[in-house]
Amino acid sequence: MKIIDAHIHLSHIHSFHQTAKPFSHLTYSFEGLKKDMKDNHVVAAVGMGLRELEGGEGFPDKDVPTPMGLDMLQGKGKVVYCAGINPYRLGYRELDALEKELLKPEVTGIKIYLGYYPFFAYDRVYEPVYDLAAKYRLPIVFHTGDTYSERGILKYAHPLTIDEVAVTHRQVTFVMAHFGDPWMLDAAEVVYKNTNVFADLSGLIVGDSREVSRVAGTPHFFDHLKHGLAFCDNYEKLMFGTDWPLVEMAPYIRFIESYIPFSKREHVFYKTALQVFPKIRTALLLR
């Protein structure tokens, strides 16, 4: 089965480096990513643009410029990315730079970090970003749910806040990263209700294969995932993703497979990503 990983990272973020070696037990580098992709039949990956300044406050960093990219990416091909947004840096100069970034063949969408930055999805600060997404027909990926930082503020990342944006910007495709975990039933309702909203299933577990087995085997830990998937009742609007380097690819693939009916796996693991991120097709041609 061909797989597209719709959510990975490839930026020099201190917390990612701290997690990759002692917890995920993987090599957090461009070469490490390529090897994991090859070993697991992952034909393309979508990176989430992110930066933190050396000697700064760490992610979420208020001073990094928009757009944020993948500062560990080498060359073009099977790894594309969503340009990251810092809402504190969205003046005319930054918006012009973002528009130029969106013209690059390897830039397949836009990433907004709800919860990490204290702005709701419907805050007017993001309106110019939504306009650019509509102009270039590119999706917006929102971080939703739990944050990988104690400095995040959860109310800004609740999936119900996406509903208003989806209604007022019907021409834009939106993706809720992490399926709003742990508010998956709310996320499922937003996906179910709005034709222009999708979700990825990344980042539900952090760690190596042993940790994936432990968490997945904990009674009731993922009852909310079962409930959300059943209520959403539309696997064609869900995408596989890992949140690499926070988890090993191989065990996470098996974990997500265990929740997806066999007849729907091609959509979740491959076809839906091609629909949501059409520029991936160009990356596949560059293999």
CA distance 130 to 144: 17
Q: Please write the tens of the pLDDT for every residue from 44-68.
A: 999 999 999 988 888 999 999 999 9
CA distance 217 to 37: 26
Is the predicted pLDDT of residue 286 greater than 80, yes or no? no
Q: Please write the tens of the pLDDT for every residue from 157-186.
A: 999 999 999 999 999 999 999 999 999 999
Burial of 34 (0-12, 13-18, 19+ CB in 10 A): middle
Residue 200's beta-bridge partner residues? 239
Is the predicted pLDDT of residue 75 greater than 90, yes or no? no
pLDDT of residue 228: 98
DSSP code of 65? Answer: P
Q: What does the DSSP assignment read for 82-102?
A: EEEE-TTS-SHHHHHHHHHHH
- Residue listed under structure tokens 């034709």: 195
CA distance 41 to 143: 26
**pTM above the 0.95 mark?**
yes
41 φψ region: left (φ > 0), alpha (ψ -120 to 50), beta (else): left
Read off the pLDDT of each residue in 61-84 and give the average, rounded to a whole number: 93
Q: Please write the tens of the pLDDT for every residue from 212-257.
A: 999 999 999 999 999 999 999 999 999 999 999 999 999 999 999 9
* CA separation, residue 224 to residues 1, 184, 236 (Å): 27, 6, 19
Is the predicted pLDDT of residue 143 greater than 70, yes or no? yes
CA distance 121 to 156: 8
Tokens of 164: 């208003």
Q: What confidence tier does 147 reach under pLDDT thresholds 50, 70, 90?
A: very high
